């Protein structure tokens, strides 16, 4: 399942909180209202019940002998009078729960009041447990029914008195409805305000994070970075401060690592150069001692031997000169003399040199007008010399070599592509070719590409390559215009 983004989650949480609190308040208020209302109405009903009881007792005292059977006759007029005076209905049942007389006989069909008192209520009346019950009549309307024993002057029960109480209905519902409408109005206002607030808040938080994220994207540990700035002293502010502190430390350690890497690279290189120089020295010494002996012995072939040895020594010395030159080229690199140069002219120079000493076909296509760059001309020439030399050396002997060079515009920079049809760079060494000292050639020093990369990066550009086995390699270089 896709996770919602932070902004939506904050927004939805706030809205959910409002809805939950709305429902909680609503339910709490509703139940509270209901129980308070019920308490109020039942106490009112009790008062009415007491008043009627008193009137009935008073009336009973004025009568002679009274029993359950005579009640309908004795109370035939009185029951309506009592109902009118107290403004309610009154029913009398015998002790088995059968209706004796009612102030309003229609009430049973109209309101759904039971014609008979249930045995459970009768039992409870006998036990003295209950007098008021909440009933549901027709149309699910709720009403109270109050029951009590009507007793003679000696306290013997004569009948069951019942008064229904309907007022509970309308007032109760009306009050709750009014309250809920008010509550809804308040909550709609609150909801709108909170929605806006939630939106602003979630925007504020996520935009802050976004801003920090954008700034972090620009961080390059190899360079010094400007610390992030945060105006307010909030949680994000402390995050930023902590981040800035870590950035500074990371920069320090990156610089230290780079320095130690550079130092160890140099050390490695010095070892390699010493080794390369030492290699031919012993054979050279042996050759000279061999000549010395020939001379001492007055060897008749002395002259021939001398010529051969001289050729071999000159060759070895040339190799040593080459090594020394390459190393000194590499070592001289940091002192760049920047000037405005025409890149295409430098490329043409390089092509010129190599077209003399190889039969590889070289084509050069310029596809942009902006070919002026600020750079050290000698270093840039060295870059192309190295790349062309590598390209030529990569072409198998049995293949007609073709090298195409393109000069293009690229993201506001100049891009040079050098494409050969050589054997390609095998996958297992692709990672290493820019590392100083790495070579696959018996006479190579492995410094060429390391130097090229160094020069290009010192000039603010980039270098990368694409290669296909047996089809060739293309090197890409970019330069700031
Ligand atoms: P060197 O030329 O002395 O070996 P470089 O640093 O110039 O040193 O090159 C390193 C290695 O990269 C080479 O030995 C070679 O294996 C590989 N390489 C460089 N350029 C190419 C190319 N155009 N095609 C195939 N392999 C290449």
394 lines ligand 1 (CB under 6 A): yes
Residue 326 CA to ligand 1 center (angstroms) comes to: 15
CA distance linking residue 464 with residue 453, whole number of Å? 9
Dihedral, 59, 63, 68, 70 alpha carbons, nearest 10: -120
Decide whether 6-174 matches 261-480 in CATH topology. Answer: no
CA distance linking residue 43 with residue 111, whole number of Å? 22
- Neighbouring-strand partners of residue 363: 404
Q: Which atom of ligand 1 is nearest to the CA of 450?
A: 6
Taking the whole predicted model, whether its pTM rises above 0.75 is answered as no
CA distance linking residue 101 with residue 150, whole number of Å? 13
Q: Where are the domains of the chain?
A: 6-174, 221-255, 261-480
Topology of the domain covering 261-480: Heat Shock Protein 90 (3.30.565)
401 lines ligand 1 (CB under 6 A): no
DSSP-derived secondary structure letter, 219:
-
User: Sign of the C-alpha dihedral, residues 150, 154, 85, 74?
Assistant: positive
**Mutation choice for ligand 1 from 276, 426, 439, CB with most ligand atoms inside 8 A:** 439
CATH assignment of 6-174? 3.30.450.20
- pLDDT in 10s for each residue of the chain, 481 residues: 567 777 788 888 888 888 898 889 888 888 888 788 778 887 888 888 888 888 888 888 888 777 888 888 888 888 889 889 888 889 999 988 898 899 888 888 887 788 888 888 888 888 876 577 777 766 677 788 888 888 887 888 888 888 888 766 556 667 778 888 888 888 888 888 888 888 888 888 888 788 778 877 877 766 667 787 777 788 888 888 888 898 888 888 888 888 888 778 777 777 777 777 776 777 788 888 888 998 899 888 888 888 888 887 887 888 788 778 777 777 765 556 788 999 999 899 888 878 777 789 999 999 988 889 999 888 888 899 889 989 999 999 999 999 999 999 988 899 999 999 999 999 999 999 998 778 898 777 788 898 899 889 888 899 999 999 999 999 999 998 8
Count of Cβ atoms closer than 10 Å to residue 251 Cβ: 17
Nearest protein Cα to ligand 1, atom 21: 390
Residue 384 near residue 346 (C-beta atoms within 8 A): yes
CA distance linking residue 427 with residue 313, whole number of Å? 39
Strand, coil or helix: 231: coil
| Cα radius of gyration (the chain) | 54
Cα–Cα nearest to 415, from 338, 339, 476, 336 = 476
User: In angstroms, what CA-CA distances link 128 with 123, 133, 238, 264?
Assistant: 9, 14, 72, 104
């Amino acid at each position: 399942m896709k996770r919602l983004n932070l902004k939506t989650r904050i927004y939805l949480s706030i809205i959910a909180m409002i809805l939950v609190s709305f429902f909680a308040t609503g339910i709490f208020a509703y139940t509270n209202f209901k129980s308070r209302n019920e308490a109020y109405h039942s106490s009112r009903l009790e008062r009415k019940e007491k008043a009627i009881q008193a009137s009935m007792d008073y009336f009973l005292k004025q009568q002679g002998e009274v029993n359950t059977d005579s009640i309908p006759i004795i109370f035939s007029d009185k029951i309506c009078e009592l109902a009118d005076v107290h403004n309610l209905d009154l029913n009398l049942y015998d002790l088995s729960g059968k209706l004796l007389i009612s102030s309003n006989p229609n009430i049973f069909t109209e309101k759904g009041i039971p014609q008979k008192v249930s045995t459970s209520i009768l039992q409870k009346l006998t036990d003295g447990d209950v007098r008021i019950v909440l009933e549901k009549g027709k149309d699910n309307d709720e009403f109270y029914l109050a029951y009590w024993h009507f007793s003679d002057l000696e306290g013997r029960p004569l009948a069951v008195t019942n008064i229904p109480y309907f007022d509970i209905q309308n007032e109760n519902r009306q009050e709750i409805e009014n309250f809920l409408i008010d509550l809804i109005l308040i909550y709609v206002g609150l909801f709108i305000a909170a929605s806006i607030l939630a939106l602003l808040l979630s925007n504020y938080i996520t935009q802050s994070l976004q801003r920090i994220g954008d700034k972090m994207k620009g961080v390059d540990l190899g360079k010094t970075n400007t610390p992030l700035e945060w105006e307010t002293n909030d949680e994000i502010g402390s995050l930023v401060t902590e981040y800035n502190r870590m950035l500074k430390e990371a920069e320090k350690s990156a610089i230290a690592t780079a320095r130690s890497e550079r130092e160890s690279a140099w050390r490695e290189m010095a070892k390699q150069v010493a080794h390369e120089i030492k290699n031919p020295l012993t054979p050279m010494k042996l050759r000279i001692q061999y000549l010395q002996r020939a001379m001492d012995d007055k060897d008749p072939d002395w002259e021939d031997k001398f010529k051969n040895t001289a050729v071999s020594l000159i060759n070895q010395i040339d190799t040593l000169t080459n090594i020394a030159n390459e190393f000194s080229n590499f070592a001289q690199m940091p002192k760049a003399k920047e000037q405005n140069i025409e890149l295409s002219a430098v490329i043409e120079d390089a092509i010129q040199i190599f077209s003399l000493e190889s039969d590889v076909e070289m084509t050069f296509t310029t596809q942009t007008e902006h070919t002026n760059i600020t750079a050290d001309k000698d270093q840039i020439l060295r870059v192309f010399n190295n790349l062309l030399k590598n390209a030529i050396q990569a072409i198998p002997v049995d293949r007609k070599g073709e090298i195409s060079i393109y000069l293009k515009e690229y993201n506001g920079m100049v891009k040079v592509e050098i494409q050969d049809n050589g054997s390609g760079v095998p996958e297992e060494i692709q990672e290493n070719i820019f590392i100083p000292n790495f070579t696959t050639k018996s006479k190579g020093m492995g410094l060429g590409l390391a130097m090229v990369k160094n020069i290009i990066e010192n000039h603010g550009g980039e270098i990368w390559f694409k290669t296909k086995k047996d089809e060739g390699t293309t090197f890409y270089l970019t330069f700031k215009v």
